[in-house]
Structure 1
Amino acid sequence: CSPEHVWNPFLGCQVQKAKDCTEDSDCLSNRTCINYECVDPCDSVCGNNTICTVENHTIACACTPGFIGNPFQNCVSQGTTELQKKYYIGKEKVTWTTAIERCRSKDMYFASITCPSEQNDIKRACNESGISGLVWVSGSDLGSAGEYVWNSTGKGFTYTNWKSGEPEVSDAYPCVALHTLDYKWQTRACRIGRYYACEYFRS
């Protein structure tokens, strides 16, 4: 083939497409780099009755208002079934970003804590797991400093349980964890390996 062309065994010589990107950081924050193209990663990721948002190249799926369930699989009308949120605690230590993928691989999603009863539920799950130390949850201010959002839903915090002096708004500590000593929330460096919490729903 001549320069700027590539060989295709089915179509012969084809014009070589210019590479839009080689990594996510080459794209806008609401796009990801797939096959050297900056694309919307939402296609076919979220389940039924969901809203997909992308921040810092990371997908967040949330149930449409009035629906509940696992947004990566299926959300159902709140009026048709009673679903209860459950928590799972990962006993291996991983980074905050890896925790997102670990939860997805288990058909769950990264944990959010939106009310006092859920705070009690995640405390109970940690106690039952036997782990001790910091546990990642899906909160962060990666999108905008000081504006904390749950990665799993894309929604801002409406309930908090911060440790005294927290959150520390800093580029060094954008990700949220809770400590099994007092179950208060604190901000930490996302790249450090810690236990993690996932959530799922059951009727």
Structure 2
Amino acid sequence: MKRILVIGVLIIAFAAANEKRFTNSSNDGKTNPLLWMILNQISGFDTKISKLQDKNEQVNKEISELKLKQKETDNNAGKIKTINSKISEIRKFQNHDGNSVYEKAISKMKADIRNLQSKHSNDDRRTKQILKMKGDVKDLQAKHMQDDKREKQLQEFNQRLKALRNDVDILKKKDRQSCESGWKLFGNHCYFFGLQKASWHVSKRECESRHSYLVKIETKTENSFLYSTLTAYWKHETFWIGLNDLTTEGKFTWISDHSSVAYKGWDPTNPSNSGGNEDCTEIHDVHWNDNNCSRRYNFICEKQIG
């Protein structure tokens, strides 16, 4: 641009000198046609210079816009560098009458800008897609956490259910190992102490009505349990037991299973069969005694748990 201005000034100075010389040598005072042509060319150059200055301002404005675009598109630094290089080439052409080259360069820059804007738009779409994918991932993670929470709750529920089942089993076991109200537990058997006095046969039926039998004493330990219970609650009371010799005199068996006597807890003077009709057995204190079956005593029933 500076070169053009210098050339213009020189041309104007040269034209003025010639015009003065021509005027002094002319007799009719008319302008030389050559000078007129030079002045017209100078005027044309001035117009072009003005247009180039306007275009230069426009180019500078577009350069500023491109630099702003450059900040927004960090990923396109290489292409913007290429555009800057082209801008430098355009500035070189501004010293010549290269309007066609200038227009092509501007068009190329605009096309590159559109491409950059399109790529930027595509990047925005990709960014939105990535953000959407991140949102989907977060939703899946949240759902996975909910599923994990449900699974944990299910595991806790199963553990509680298992514990409840264990408690039920324990209760059932205890229930099987316990006796109903009014009965006393010893070993794996329940014992009922009937306090309504009755004959041996009536006492037998009373036990059967309770799904049991007149007690069968098989061990010394069992006999001691009965004795301790009787002395604690019904001291000096007499109770029928299941031992008898109703079938064969002198051969005592248990009414529950007709088995013979294994453990014996007789009083030292018994069985005596006093009077010839003592076929049933009762217990008082700790000893057994054969007695008349028609006598009215309390009775002891026995049954197995479960």
TM norm structure 1: 0.54
Written as runs of structure 1 = structure 2, the 5 A alignment for 1:47-126 is 84-126=188-230
Residue 167 of structure 1 deviates from its aligned partner by: 0.5
Does the 8 Å contact 1:134/1:177 carry over to 2? Answer: yes
**Structure 2 portions without partners, runs of 5+:** 1-186
Structure 2 CA distance for partners of 1:124 and 1:108, relative to 1, 3 Å: farther
Q: Is 1:198 the equivalent of 2:305?
A: no
1:156 aligns with 2:260: yes
CA gap of 1:201–1:89, structure 2 versus 1, over 3 A, is same
Give the corresponding residue for 1:146: 250
Q: Is 2:213–2:302's contact at 8 Å kept on the other side of the alignment?
A: yes
The offset of 1:109, in angstroms, is: 1.2
Q: Which amino acid aligns with 1:175?
A: C
> Is the 8 Å Cα contact of residues 87 and 122 (structure 1) preserved in structure 2?
no
In the alignment, structure 1 segments of 5+ residues that lack a partner are 1-82
SS at match of 1:99: helix
2:283 pairs with 178, 188, 199, which one? 178
Q: Is the 8 A contact 1:138 1:152 kept in 2?
A: yes
Q: Distance in 1 between matches of 2:281 and 2:196?
A: 17
Which range is displaced more, 184-193 or 106-115? 106-115
Q: Deviations over 1:84-130 (max 9, x none)?
A: 12321101100000011100111221111011111022223324543
How high is the sequence identity, in percent, across the aligned residues?
21
The residue that corresponds to 2:236 in the other structure is: 132
Confirm or deny: 8 A CA contact 1:93 1:193 kept in the other structure: yes
TM-score, normalised to structure 2's length?
A: 0.37
Equivalent pairs, count: 119
| Structure with the greater alpha carbon radius of gyration | 2
**d(CA) in 2 for partners of 1:117, 1:105:** 27
Note closer, same or farther for the CA distance 1:164–1:146 as it changes in structure 2 (3 Å cut).
same
CA distance in 2, matches of 1:85, 1:127: 20
* CA RMSD after TM alignment: 1.7
The equivalent residue for 1:34 is: none
SS at match of 1:87: strand
2:271 paired with 1:167: yes
What is the deviation of 1:132? 3.4
Which whole-Å CA distance do the structure 2 matches of 1:154 and 1:131 have between them?
29
Bigger proportion of residues as strand: 1
